[in-house]
Structure 1
Amino acid sequence: MIKINGLDKYLGGEKILDDINIHIKKGSIFGLVGPNGAGKTTLIKCLVDIYKPEKGEVIISGENIKDNKKIKSRVGYVSDFQYFYPSFKISEIAEFYKGAYPHWNDDRYIRLMNLFKLDGKKKAKHLSKGMKTQFAIILNLSIMPEVLILDEPTSGLDPVVKRKVLNLIVEEVSTNKTTVLISSHNLGHLEQICDHIGIIHEGKILLEDSIEDLKSNVRKIQVAFKGELPEDIKNNKHILRVDSIGRIHQIVVKDNLETVMEAIKIHNPILLETIDMSLEEIFIYEMGGEGYVFEDIAL
């Protein structure tokens, strides 16, 4: 379980995180999304005690992570940039982890090395970016974490390896009830594996909800009328956006689907249907509401 309570963080005199509050249930997968510079990586570094917040606290498994070696030994962290001492072999780096983490599992390490087909005799300086990411994932799953923090874990990986990584995350949660926080720009991947999503924007949590509720609260209506789109529909306060091609209109609605549907039915539409939206579409419309230009935030 992860609890982030009232977290503030400044860097270079600038407030990067502003009163962040997130509670992540044990055995769940939480996706953290947001535009570049929103504060995702800064928040993650606070979670693993690399950065010390000016205000607030991070509670993991019931204990404050600040300077807490016992809790840190149960937290796996894969950063968005991997660095290993260049002249060390993979096997030597693994031995270091084995000595540093008391719950290290040799059987799991061997299984994962075989799964990703990495050679333990290879030196770190000969690993590609993708191979370094794979090795970091192997190491942090082999420590048998209670909490797993992943910052862009599929960046630089080919599609087959990406699928292996996503399957491993789901397996980890299912088998060991590990709590996972994952940051990614690939919203399609997050939609497949996450239970909850948080959108961070300018250092604040803009939205936090379960995937299921988020997708039921933001819906798209496709409608056509014999004439023009009625003015009362066009100006309806519950509508986020309207896109029109000829007489076909796609209307994005948040929280008040039935109210808008009833308003539309008064005008006897010749076509009326609802369409499920992807997480990526929802993100784009939510960020559009914060003043972003849609073309600038399309992923």
Structure 2
Amino acid sequence: MKVIELKDVKKSYGKNEILHGISLDIEEGSIHGLVGRNGCGKTTLIKCLTGIYEQDQGQILVCGEEIFENPNVKAQVGYVADSNQYFEGYHIDEMVEFYKQIYPTFDEKVFRDYNQSIGLDVSKRIKELSKGQAMSLASMLNLSIHPKVMIMDEPMSGLDVIAQKQIKDFIVNEVDMNGMSVLISSHDLKDLESFCDSASMMKDGKILYQGTMDQMKERFTKLQVVFGESRSEIFKELSGVITYSNLGSVYTVILEGYGEPIHEALKQAGAIVVEEIPLSLEEVFVYSNR
């Protein structure tokens, strides 16, 4: 079941179009990563998806309904922004009370259980929290409403390694226990790779491609090629080669469209070894933006 559906979504600021026909589906109970360079439109897309901005064109459905100016749908959506503007003078305990009043589904026991691990002093004022503590608080508060959909914009920003693992564990627990669906934007591609079921890659207000983590990696191939002697000229002749480097006669090659013809061409050129080696999501992102 699709819990998030975007169809040909466009958004402009004045004459500057930021989103150029975005289409995206996210399945129930999945964790979907959104990656892209600064300025590619990720945050604008997220603000449209949470109903903060209204799209100029296209359709955004969350749980089967339009989200803009729809309080019933917004009540089912948790949102952790990249900068959370809470009431700075409030104590953490006062924020808990605020969430209890705003969200009927807010579960204070779950919040206290989460904070047992994170260890925030609930008597502290919001303005006294570090960036990482504020992000942890925002994640815990929003997870405690048991949302059907969680939208998170750079939620690991400012968190140390231990806090990152704790927040990820909380998210996975909510997905497993309640079927929550997650869209998470992050610059930490290694983090997304180990955490998400699928991902979308944005560039210049468009989605380049989307799919499972394995499907994303299938676009490019990373090879280790060994020759008896230096043969760098062969990589200038082969189609699909994006970049290559070498240490002596051992070459590391990134290419698109690898198949049997290229394998045979390398063998005929004298390659002793032609071996595929693992490609990270970070490498896919870098080579997609060349």
- Give me the TM-score of the superposition, normalised by structure 2: 0.94
| 1:152 corresponds to | 154
Question: 2 CA distance for matches of 1:134 and 1:4?
Answer: 28
Residue identity in the other structure for 1:169: I
- Mapping 1:1-299, distance limit 5 Å: 1-229=3-231, 231=233, 233-288=235-290
Residue identity in the other structure for 1:280: E
Structure 2, unpaired ranges of 5+: none
Question: 2 CA distance for matches of 1:146 and 1:169?
Answer: 12
Percent identity over the alignment is 39
- Give me the TM-score of the superposition, normalised by structure 1: 0.92
Where 1:51 maps in the other structure, the secondary structure is: coil
Aligned-pair distance for 1:239? 2.2
Question: 2 CA distance for matches of 1:212 and 1:176?
Answer: 26
Count of residue pairs brought into register by the alignment: 288
Determine if contact 2:96/2:108 at 8 Å carries over to the other structure.
no
Residue identity in the other structure for 1:158: D
Question: 2 CA distance for matches of 1:90 and 1:168?
Answer: 19
Aligned-pair distance for 1:29? 0.8
The Cα offsets for residues 173-224 of structure 1, whole Å up to 9 and x where unpaired, read as: 1221111000000001000011111111110111212101222342211112
Structure 1, unpaired ranges of 5+: 289-299
Task: Say if 1:259 and 1:94 are closer, same or farther in 2 by CA, change over 3 A.
Answer: farther
Residues 1-10 or 88-97, more deviating: 88-97
The Cα offsets for residues 214-265 of structure 1, whole Å up to 9 and x where unpaired, read as: 2234221111223443755432222222223332221112243433222212
Question: 1 CA distance for matches of 2:91 and 2:235?
Answer: 65
Where 2:282 maps in the other structure, the secondary structure is: helix
Determine if contact 2:230/2:248 at 8 Å carries over to the other structure.
no
Runs of 4+ in 1 over 3 A off after TM superposition: 230-233
Determine if contact 1:219/1:257 at 8 Å carries over to the other structure.
no
Question: 2 CA distance for matches of 1:262 and 1:209?
Answer: 29
| 1:292 corresponds to | none
Question: 2 CA distance for matches of 1:35 and 1:282?
Answer: 13
Residues 240-249 or 106-115, more deviating: 240-249
Determine if contact 1:106/1:142 at 8 Å carries over to the other structure.
yes
Question: 1 CA distance for matches of 2:257 and 2:142?
Answer: 40
